[in-house]
Each structure stands twice: as C-alpha cells, then as structure tokens.
Amino acid sequence: MATMAKRNAQGSGTIRQRANGTWEGRFTLGKNAGTGKQVQKSIYGKTQKEVRRKLTEITSNIDKGLYVEPSKLTVGAWLDTWLNEFIKMGNTQSGSLAEGTIFDYTRHIEHYIKPAIGAIRLTDLKPYHIQKVYNELINRKPKPLSAKTIKNLHSVIHSSLEAAKEQDLILVNPSDKVKLPKINKTEINPLNEQQQRLLLEAVKGTELEAIYKAALFTGMRQGELMGLTWDRIDFEKGTIKIDRQMITERVKGGKHKFSSTKTQKSNRVIMPAPSFMKMLKALRVEQKQNKLKAGKMWDEGDFVGAGLVFTNSYGHNLYKSTITNSGSKLGKKIGLPDFRFHDLRHTYAVNAIKAGDDIKTISSNLGHTTISITLDLYAHFTDDMRKASSERMESYLQGIINL
C-alpha cells in the first residue's frame, strides 16, 4: 500500500487503500494563488487497478494541460445555459437561426433530452447514455421517432456539447461516437409539363392562383411567399429580395408574424423570368383595385401597412393551413392525390435543370446552404440531363465524322 508524499509536484499522484476497503488516488493540481498551498484532489474506486487507470489518465492530462476539473453541473443545467446564453442571446446578436428553429431546439430539449439524461453530470456523460436515448426513441411504441427526427435531436445534443467543450467544461464530445439510424432518402415528386398545365388551370381564378404560380416559377418556400412584401420587389432590376418569412407563433391562438428565413444563407436575391415579373405588376394593379372595392372591409390583419404581395381579396394574409389543404384538394382534382404545395418548389428546380441552368445558380435561387444539398436532392435529374447532353454530343460528333 502506497504512502502519500507530503509534498507532490503538479500532476503527480499517490494511491492508498481506505479503511472500508475501497481505494483512493490523490493528485496535485498546483498551488492556490492566494495561499501558496498545494491544491490536491482525490478520486475513488473499488480496486487499485481502477484507481491507477483513472489517476494515470488524469495526471497525463494535467501534464498536457488538458485536465478539466469535474463539476456538479448537470446536462440539463448546461442545456438551459446553452439555449439561453449561446443560442437565444447569440441569435439576438447575429440573427443566424430562424425563430421556428429555436422553438424546435427548445422542444427537443424539454421533451426528449432532459427527461432522459438531464440529471447526469456533464462530465459523467458517456456515448452509451446518448445512444440509449436514440435507440429507445426510434423503437418507441406506439409512435417511434423517425430517423430524421433523431438526426435533428442529435444536432441539438452535439452542438450543445461542442459548446461545452469549447468552454473547457468537458474534454471530448461524447456524441461524436454515437451511431445514428439511417435516413431513407425522401422521394421527390415534381410535376411533369402536362401536370403543371392541369394544376395551373385548376387554380385559375382563385385567390391562390398567384401564390401557386410564384412557387412554380421561383421555387420560393411557402413561408417566404406568404411573407413577401412589395418593397422586396425591384421591378426595374427584375429582382426579388428574400430575407424573411411568415410564421405562426407556436402557442395556442398564436398570431402570424415575420421571422428570419430558415437559415442565414437562405437570404438571397433572385431574378425570375420577365414574364413572371410582368404577372406581379398585374397582380399589384389588381390588389389596388380590390382595396378600392373593399373599402372599410379591407383588412390587413397583423400586417397593417406591410404591403403583402399575396393576400385574399380583402387584404388579409393567407393562412398556411389554407394553402396546405388546397394542395390536397387540387391534387385530387387533377389526378395527383399525393400532391403537396411544396412539390412546386421541386418542380421549379427540375424545370431549371431541364432549362440548362447551372447547379450553383439553382442552389442559390433555392436558398440551399450548400450545393451538395441541391445535388443530393436532384441527382437523378442531373444525371438524366448529363446523359441527354452526352447523347446530343455523340449525335453531333457522328455528324462531323460522316462528313
């Protein structure tokens, strides 16, 4: 049994057996700046081998300057700090995350993460703790979480722990070693030319005609279209500035409000086809006429003076549920029961690919954070276009060879 030295150098350690049969390892962290006395800490274990392993790891980290002293800070307490001080406060300063994204972060933390691992000390959190959470949620009955939701959940956990690592609260990020379930690639359903014509015919003359055309001809997201205002449109340059969206507050009776776009990189300026810009000019004239006809019945709701582009005939903003439900009804009408309004965004992208637009321009117009997202979503269609291009080149070369 080792005896403890009276004065130990920084990082050195000793081991002794305690009266109750357990083992204690003591190590020196250095000197107290105020008293000049050595600061010593203890670790404990059931066996000498266990304590020696822990002590070797600790003293090695001390020598390398990597040691982080354990604290009583729990995972739950850190998540609260991270959400309030790093995400919400940071978002106020940089505006990097949409309000809906912060809401989702909060919901994930409160519903799934804190109930499962919130009471564990941050320094004691291991990969298997996190893996167990994911495994249980994806196998939960009767309503398991999808692989995509697990991935979103992991994004919150990983980001929060990475911040803890940057703040020297932990040495490594335990979520790095966790295995995520495989996400099955979502099949996209762009409309072909005949289906596009049928849809435009079906929506013609309704208060949703303009927003349907806008989605099809610009690829803008539904929230971006709902929040588009006339001051974002430059008819001289033929451009539309996209830097916000309309959302509904996620509380009972929540109002509609403007919010930042999905991500900071979603902010963009697009230049639609001239014929679409001409359609917008006509829409503006029609809206002014509707306002005169409606008189006192003209109601801009929560957006008085904002100048929304897409409204009903009485000036009120369009509702997300109205647009969503219309997609199902119109889809059935034209023989596409699975049609969704979001399919128009995919249709725009495929139309742009077929028109010969380069993938970088398409990605920028869609507001994707990276080109790889665009390539991954529309790989099949870009492959088809490359094949068609190859066949056209082959026909051209054969023509030259046969001269």
What mean pLDDT is reported for the chain?
88
Looking at residue 167, its amino acid is Q
Mean pLDDT for 261-277 is: 89
Task: Give the DSSP letter string of 81-114.
Answer: HIIIIIIIHHHHHH--B-HHHHHHHHHHIIIIIH
Could you report the per-residue pLDDT of 321-333, keeping only the tens digit for each? 999 999 999 999 9
249 and 257 in contact (C-beta within 8 Å)?
yes
Task: Give 42's strand partners.
Answer: 26
User: How high is the pLDDT of residue 94?
Assistant: 47
Spatial CA neighbour of 274 closest among 239, 232, 229: 239
Could you report the per-residue pLDDT of 181-221, keeping only the tens digit for each? 998 877 788 999 999 999 999 999 999 999 999 999 999 99
Identify the structural domains of the chain with CATH numbers, from first to last.
13-64 (no CATH), 75-177 (1.10.150.130), 193-385 (1.10.443.10)
Model-wide pTM > 0.95: no
**178 — pLDDT class (breaks 50, 70, 90):** very high
